Structure 1
Amino acid sequence: MRSWLILSVAITLIWRGAVAPTPLPSTPTCVNGATCVAIATPSTSSTGFTPGSGATVIRPRFSYGSEKIRGVNLGGWFVIEPWINPSLFNQTNNPAIIDEYTYGLYQSGSQTESILQNHWDTWITEDDFAAISQAGLNHVRIPIPYWAVPTANTSTSPFITGSWSRLLRAVSWASSYSISVIIDIHGAPGSQNGYDNSGQRLSYPQWQKAQENIDRTVQVFQALINEFTTSNWGGTVGVIEALNEPAGFHQDVLDATNGYWQQTYGVLQDYRLARGSQTGVNVDPTEIKMAIMDAFQGVEAYQGFLTPPGSQGVLMDIHNYQIFNGWQYVTNITQHPISACAFGQSISTFSTSNLWTYVGEWSSVMNDCALWLNGRWLPSLWETAVPGRSCVGMTGAWQTFSPDYISLMTQYFEAQITAYEEAEGWVFWCAPISLYLVYLTLIRSVKPDRNWKVWTYTKPKCDYEASPKTDLGFLLL
């Protein structure tokens, strides 16, 4: 993912501690409207981790293609990024530390391990899952790096391992609160995009240059399939996303990526054959799926790729940040809601005719003003693209934003939700730095008359140029 966002880390205080954990329901009723089954918590998973507390939990059985994905990413948890986790980088007092790779390379291993273990245990807690559930959201997307997943290849240096047990705990929490999970391989060996969100910031990605890197990523995908298709998890993990944001604008990366999609689909197909699924018809709509990405090519580049009836169980994830390309950071910001609507129309067509498509990352931000969004020590393109333009009033605590700016962000937010539900739905980036519910306080500030208790989404006309004050009537928290 190409990360962004504008809200201050301090805003997370609004989110944290605001909602107490919800007691588990005594009957199999899902809070999010998904089809659920009550399953007694198993003793242990294949890794020795014990999901849940021994009580009966309500496991989500999400039906992709008929229900809308509404979720939030748990970013900055198992892959740290300077803009999301600035305090972790500031406390190193080392300007050479720019990503998680250098975080381990230039510090004492024991010191780094202690810091990261504390981070894994505190960045996201069970209270966050309770609050996400109470908001009516039905998904979390959890980014993980290759080095977090146990495979036969144990070489991970200089990365610090140990987050796997926390991932399993996270899935257990999701299960307890009837939240479906998308697990996203966010970082591959050698880096699939050269961005710091892959774990290693490079001038040119190296993942595609060694078959060993690709093979190991396939092993990670296989390990995730093996773990989360066991009865222990009861279908909580609905999708394994095979790789986040491969840099397909480089031809060698694109070629390797398309081959990798085929390899990982083979892993999924082997699993389906082993459990007796038919090859031509996906007989179980709640069966685990895989997701591929457009590799920055646009979904049109994947017309007919791994589509039914020849292939089954594949979804498309596409990310929509209108801040990283030239026209996006020089355009008038009032154009962003209009562009979101047009984007929704294009992915809706693809979702209907090719692969079910969801927007796995997006935001309401209209600039790259957040500190280190483009990488530690790198400047804002939005601020430097136009002489005299300033990020003042465009980032930091939302209470400093002008009413007009808040209103425009609200329109952009609403336009995107409208547009993305023309396809299969959306997963907001990210918690907890800009947590979805925190952002909704912006909407609450300009539309305080809403009942914030129940999700009753009604789709409006997606035309903010003609009707900039369209009221969605979606109700959260």
Structure 2
Amino acid sequence: MRGSILSLLTFGSAVSAWLPAERGFFKSEARSLSIGQGRSITKRFNPDKIRGVNLGSLFIVEPWMMGQAWNDMGCGDQKSEFDCVLKLGQDGADAAFKQHWDTWITEEDLDKMKEYGINAIRVPVGYWMVEELVDQSEHFPRGGLEYLDRLAGWAASRNMYMNLDLHGAPYSQEIHQPFTGQYSEEAGFYQTSQYERAYTFLQKMTERIHTTDAYRTTGMIEVLNEPQRTHDSLIPEYYATAYGKIRETEANLGVSDDKKLTIQFMAESWGAGNPRQVLEGKTDVAFDDHRYLKWANIDQSKPSYIATSCGDTFGGNDNSPIVVGEWSLAVADNNEQTPEWEPQGNKDWYKQWWGAQVQAYEKGLGWFFWSWKVQLGDDYRWGYRNAVEAGVIPLSPDEAAGLAKC
């Protein structure tokens, strides 16, 4: 998770690979929702769009968003998973992380997602899930793949779409970012030897998805989250080859076109180049945009946030179809705790802004909120479940249009 520069672009195009709308995967369903005092109402949920959440800090911990759990693991003074494994030792770290994987996201969480109208999950993972890729100089928890398999099965049993996202790349794709799994002083990913390790990860996970029943509703794989914006080899070498390696794996498995994974890339609006340079004519891909107005070059005012979100469009330079893979209700750091912006006294405005963003992001394929849950006290702005429980996000995403008149 990190900020991006907003671009106001256009959307359009279709694909042939595994996307939920093309299969009628999100079936329209009516649910009885409690409105208190023993009363309930019936709501019908929109079946056409991805309405998802990120499972942030499940398989790659970001200490800022789960401070209490990080302390309980014995990692409280450490900046990243890599650092914590070094501190605890491999066996101690393996035990601590297995306890974390067992408790941070449970089946009850997925049931709540369904209750709240969430139909998809984006799952950030590190390359170390494929443990053979970890060399002796690297320190990561072991045993996560078993828990990823379990999660995929939970999602499949609830008919939830899953996007598997390579969030942490070998030798780190960004400096000083725990979302890579390490607090690195250097982004060492951008070299052929590290690309090769990432290709192996993508191929191993592609094979696992197609040969393991638990992954039957996993339809998208993202080749890299939030790369640095200054590497000339990223698109012509890494993106082009990553696409080919995934398709080669599927060809070897005899996967039919309608069951091939949708391969996702960060959109040109992220600032690291245009993936279409090497994907010309390919219609089985998707693009990822991260929309954090807190870091955008706009007037930092409430009217500006609403107007920007209402007018937001996507997909220029043929970067479509597009999913907004990360967004939140967070505002600029220097404003977030001032009386005009603090969360508890401004719930009506945050509810309106949530509605404006949902309407914008559903101009494309849909969205994944960052994140499902956080441990930030009464600040709900980064946690979907936290915001629903605070009364800011409604139980049905279909209410978005009634909250912000875009």
Q: What does residue 463 of structure 1 align with? A: none
Distance 1:122 1:94 in 2: 16
> CA 1:436–1:162 in 2, change beyond 3 Å: closer, same or farther?
same
Distance 2:82 2:366 in 1: 33
Q: Given that residues 149 and 214 in structure 2 are in contact (C-alpha distance below 8 angstroms), is that contact kept between their aligned partners in structure 1?
A: no
> CA 1:302–1:214 in 2, change beyond 3 Å: closer, same or farther?
closer
- The correspondence of residues 38-437 of structure 1 with structure 2, limited to 5 A, is 67-90=48-71, 97-151=78-132, 155=136, 157-194=138-175, 195-208=177-190, 210-230=191-211, 232-233=213-214, 235-248=216-229, 250=230, 252=231, 254-274=232-252, 283-284=257-258, 286-294=259-267, 297-298=270-271, 301-303=274-276, 305-307=278-280, 310-324=281-295, 327=297, 331-342=300-311, 344-345=312-313, 347-349=314-316, 353-367=318-332, 382-383=333-334, 391=337, 398=343, 401-402=344-345, 405-433=346-374, 434-437=382-385
Instruction: Report deviation, 1:458.
Output: 7.4
Structure number with the bigger relative contact order (C-alpha 8 A, sep ≥ 6) is: 2
Q: Given that residues 365 and 409 in structure 1 are in contact (C-alpha distance below 8 angstroms), is that contact kept between their aligned partners in structure 2?
A: no
The count of corresponding residues between Structure 1 and Structure 2 is: 362
Q: Given that residues 163 and 219 in structure 2 are in contact (C-alpha distance below 8 angstroms), is that contact kept between their aligned partners in structure 1?
A: yes
Which has the higher Rg, Structure 1 or Structure 2? 1
Unaligned runs of 5+ in 1: 5-29, 36-65, 368-381, 384-388, 461-468, 473-477
Q: In the alignment, residue 358 of structure 1 is paired with which amino acid?
A: V
SS of the equivalent of 2:221 reads strand
Q: Given that residues 291 and 315 in structure 1 are in contact (C-alpha distance below 8 angstroms), is that contact kept between their aligned partners in structure 2?
A: yes
> CA 1:3–1:171 in 2, change beyond 3 Å: closer, same or farther?
farther
Distance 1:135 1:390 in 2: 26
Q: In the alignment, residue 337 of structure 2 is paired with which amino acid?
A: C
Identity %, equivalent residues: 25
Q: Given that residues 72 and 139 in structure 1 are in contact (C-alpha distance below 8 angstroms), is that contact kept between their aligned partners in structure 2?
A: yes
Q: Given that residues 141 and 184 in structure 1 are in contact (C-alpha distance below 8 angstroms), is that contact kept between their aligned partners in structure 2?
A: yes
> CA 1:96–1:83 in 2, change beyond 3 Å: closer, same or farther?
closer
Distance 1:427 1:390 in 2: 22
Distance 1:228 1:156 in 2: 29
Unaligned runs of 5+ in 2: 5-23, 30-46, 375-381
Q: Given that residues 340 and 416 in structure 1 are in contact (C-alpha distance below 8 angstroms), is that contact kept between their aligned partners in structure 2?
A: yes
SS of the equivalent of 1:323 reads helix
SS of the equivalent of 1:207 reads coil
TM score, norm. by length of structure 2: 0.78
> CA 1:242–1:303 in 2, change beyond 3 Å: closer, same or farther?
closer
Instruction: Report deviation, 1:356.
Output: 1.0
Q: What does residue 470 of structure 1 align with? A: 404
Q: State the Cα RMSD in Å.
A: 3.3
> CA 1:298–1:256 in 2, change beyond 3 Å: closer, same or farther?
closer
Q: Given that residues 78 and 163 in structure 1 are in contact (C-alpha distance below 8 angstroms), is that contact kept between their aligned partners in structure 2?
A: yes
Distance 1:335 1:437 in 2: 26
Q: Given that residues 334 and 408 in structure 1 are in contact (C-alpha distance below 8 angstroms), is that contact kept between their aligned partners in structure 2?
A: no
